[in-house]
Amino acid sequence: MATIACSDAGTADREDSAATALSSQKTSAAQANLRNIVPAPVSVQSRSGQDFSLTAHTVIGAGACSAEVQRVGEYLAGLLRPATGFALRVRPVDATAHTGIVLLLGGANAQVGTEGYELDVTTERVILRANTPAGLFAGAQTLRQLFPANIESSTRQNGPWTVGGGHILDFPKFEFRGGMLDVSRHFFGVDTIKHYIDHLARYKLNHMHLHLADDQGWRIQIDAYPQLTAIGGSTEVGGGAGGFYTKADYTEIVKYAAARYITVIPEIDMPGHVNAALASVPELNCNNQSPPLYTGVDVGFSSFCMDDAHRAVVSKFVDDVVRELAELTPGPYIHLGGDEAHSTPVADYIAFEQRTLPVVEKYGKTAMGWHDILKSTPDTRTLAQYWGTTPTDSTVEQAAKRGAKFLISAANLTYMDMKYTEATPLGQDWAGLIEVQDAYNWDPATYLTGVPSKQVVGVEAPLWTETILNLANIEFMLFPRIPALAERVWSPSTHTWDEFKVRLASQGPRWKNANIDFYASPQVPWP
Ligand code: TNX
């Protein structure tokens, strides 16, 4: 039976992996999976003759002293049960027996930090060690990829369920690894969001940004202004029914994400991209009259009223919205948009940002904004999200000299709504075409001119949804580009496209088994 232990017991039976003979001998199919992990781990050593097999009797041992480790154990069991048909009980057991899969909190190499892990696979057992539950969760995602591809099936498949023997030590390169979904242009229900979260989690991304309000829709319940959702949530691009998240829905999303170590970032875009708010709240308009709802795809035509007579009412609106969002947000960030405010005079825009970004701080959160906000020289706590299409931008360089931190979402590299080629059916092309090799072939650490790598927190891949209608569309745009970006933001930068594309190819059968739609790029040697 499997063993459970908390930190000390785990350390006691730690193997000296450096002393273990490393494989050069023939590799089993199971060992091939060790070389196919995406994103690539920091170090992988295989040990031939040490393959582990999951059986109907395998128990997943999770730290008896931590309910959270127990929960990660349950998550892992939940991944492995459908295809294997095994019971895979998760339970706390004593610290002396040593078979099965064992999750240990503590005792991992200090190098793995707060999100990394160590994985040891021998014939007897799989031991996953991390310093935090988040690290164990990341390790569980790796272990998932060590099983044959049909582990991803939702129905019972034939084994054997063998994992290659070896040792993996792994930790991320950047702290912020994210995806954004625009739920304003088209609305997606809670179930679709959960799938999206699962897709991010699979590749060790740890932030999900929801673009909750734009010209076409307001998608989050705000008690102070019920008309925002009643009116502003009632349609979407193309004139469909739209929708919105109640606070209970949103809390369910936040909780689902948290169980996958993903921080949710809510965005209300302002002072432009606000037609849905203007259509719902007449006092935000200079003539105190609401414009009609908007179901097209233009940008840059709307703005909160900036005149003196409306300053108080707009400020109160912003304050109420930020306060209610902060109450719904356990994570550190509230995103206030700020992009493409083409209908707001520049001086008014700067004054607006100078008044508004501090409201986020007032409610105990850190402000984020599209990099346009740098025009207002915000303080260096504010995180700027760079969405330009070239590495050089003078406003960015100046902000970097002041110590600003950046999240990179360069539109020509990371925008998941850009087409792959002119021939692919969904998406736009204003920032360029992004084939999977383009998404892969760059280095976030050195990308932005004049921004030292220590001022780059990471990468986020936004999916704008003017042309995206459902989960299958979302998946087609994410796969295979999201794993490419995930590798750039997690793995050491030494990996090359020629080697990555082979690893990426091995993911294809996993997506097929998991019923994930994807673009079968001709750049990838799919099996
Ligand atoms: C630009 S990039 C936008 C969005 C659009 C997107 C479409 C940015 C911060 N704003 O409003 O949806 O292009 O690709």
For the record, the structure tokens of 449 come out as: 């001119």
Ligand 1 atom with the shortest distance to the CA of 431? 14
C-alpha 116/C-alpha 132 separation (Å) is 8
Pairing of strands 117-121, 166-170: antiparallel
Asked if residue 394 is part of any domain, the answer here is yes
State the average pLDDT over residues 185-209.
98
Please write the tens of the pLDDT for every residue from 485-525. Answer: 999 999 999 999 999 999 999 999 999 999 999 999 999 99
Question: Is the pLDDT confidence value at 124 over 60?
Answer: yes
Among residues 139, 170, 201, the one where a domain terminates is 170
Do residues 201 and 318 both lie within one domain? yes
**Ligand 1 and 386: CB distance under 6 A:** no
User: What is the best residue among 340, 393, 417 to mutate for testing ligand 1's pocket, by most ligand atoms within 8 Å of CB?
Assistant: 340
| Residue 417 Cβ contacting ligand 1 at under 6 Å | yes
Taking 90 as the threshold, does the pLDDT of residue 2 lie above it? no
Average pLDDT of the residues of the chain: 94
Question: Is residue 507 a part of any domain in this protein?
Answer: no
Residue 511 belongs to some domain of the structure? no
Catalytic residues: 340
Ligand 1 lined by 203 (C-beta under 6 Å)? no
- Cα–Cα–Cα angle for 310, 283, 367, nearest 5°? 70
Q: Ligand 1 centre and the CA of 155: distance in Å?
A: 39
Q: From atom 12 of ligand 1, which residue's Cα is the shortest distance away?
A: 464
Task: Judge if 67 and 146 occupy the same domain.
Answer: yes
Distance CA(321)–CA(507), nearest Å, equals 41
Using most ligand atoms within 8 A of CB, pick from 464, 465, 467, 477 the residue to mutate for ligand 1.
464
Same domain, 105 and 242: no
Q: Do 210 and 152 belong together in one domain? A: no
Report whether residue 438 contacts ligand 1, using a CB cutoff of 6 Å: no
* Number of domains the chain contains: 2
- Is 206 found in the same domain as 96? no
Question: Residue 24 above 50 pLDDT?
Answer: no
pLDDT (0 to 100) of residue 99:
81
- Ligand 1 atom nearest residue 411's Cα: 2
pLDDT at 11: 40
Q: Which residue type sits at 107?
A: G
Alpha carbon 215 to chain centroid distance? 24
pLDDT of residue 21: 38
Query: Of ligand 1's atoms, which has the minimum distance to the CA of residue 466?
Result: 12
Q: Looking at residue 225, which CATH number applies to its domain?
A: 3.20.20.80
Do 136 and 25 belong together in one domain?
yes
Is residue 508 in a domain?
Answer: no
Q: Could you identify the atom of ligand 1 that is nearest to the CA of residue 465?
A: 12
In a domain, 228, yes or no: yes
From the alpha carbon of 340, which atom of ligand 1 is closest?
A: 10
| Residue 303 CA to ligand 1 centre (angstroms) | 16
Q: What is the CA radius of gyration of the chain?
A: 24
- Could you tell me the distance, in angstroms and rounded to a whole number, from the CA of residue 464 to the centre of ligand 1? 7
Residues 367-416 have pLDDT tens digits of 999 999 999 999 999 999 999 999 999 999 999 999 999 999 999 999 99
Distance, in Å, from the CA atom of 227 to the CA atom of 244, rounded to the nearest integer, reads 12
Residues of the domain holding 86: 6-170
Same domain, 363 and 253: yes
| H helical segments located in 120-226 | 133-146, 190-202
Domain identity same for 158 and 186: no
* Alpha carbon distance 31, 50 (integer Å): 9
Do residues 163 and 241 share a domain? no
Query: Any alpha helices (H) in 147-288, and if so which ranges?
Result: 190-202, 227-230, 247-258, 275-280
**Domain containing residue 165: CATH number:** 3.30.379.10
Q: Identify the CA nearest to 502 among candidates 517, 516, 512, 487.
A: 487
3-state secondary structure of 208: strand
Ligand 1 neighbourhood includes 297 CB (under 6 angstroms): no
pTM of the model: 0.95
Cα(157)–Cα(149) distance, integer angstroms: 10
State the angle between helix axes of 133-146 and 67-84 in degrees (0 to 180), rounded to the nearest 10. Answer: 10
**Helices of type H across 428-469:** 436-440
The reply to whether ligand 1 has any atom less than 6 angstroms from the CB of 196 is no
For 504, the 3-state DSSP assignment is helix
Three-state DSSP at 453 gives helix
Helix H or strand E segment including 400: helix 394-401
- Helix-, strand-, coil-residue percentages of the chain, each rounded to 5: 35, 15, 45
**192 and 271 fall within a common domain:** yes
**Centroid of ligand 1 to alpha carbon of 522 (angstroms):** 27
356 φ, ψ (degrees, to nearest 5): -90, -40
Domain assignment of residue 517, yes or no: no
Residues 128/143, Cβ–Cβ less than 8 Å: yes
Q: Taking the CA atoms of 444, 448, 451 and 457 in sequence, report the sign of the dihedral they define.
A: negative
Q: pLDDT class for 8, splitting at 50, 70, 90?
A: very low
Q: Are residues 166 and 192 in the same domain?
A: no
Q: Average pLDDT in the 11-24 region?
A: 38
* 131 and 228 together in one domain: no
- Distance, in Å, from the CA atom of 138 to the CA atom of 130, rounded to the nearest integer, reads 9
From the CA of 418, how far away is ligand 1's center (Å)? 10
Assigned domain for 361 exists: yes
Asked if residue 388 belongs to a domain, the reply is yes
pLDDT band at 20 (very low <50, low <70, confident <90, very high): very low
- Integer CA distances (angstroms), 184 to 233, 254, 421, in order: 8, 18, 25
Q: Are 436 and 521 in contact (CB under 8 A)?
A: yes
Q: How far is the CA of 273 from the centre of ligand 1 (A)?
A: 10
397 lines ligand 1 (CB under 6 A): no
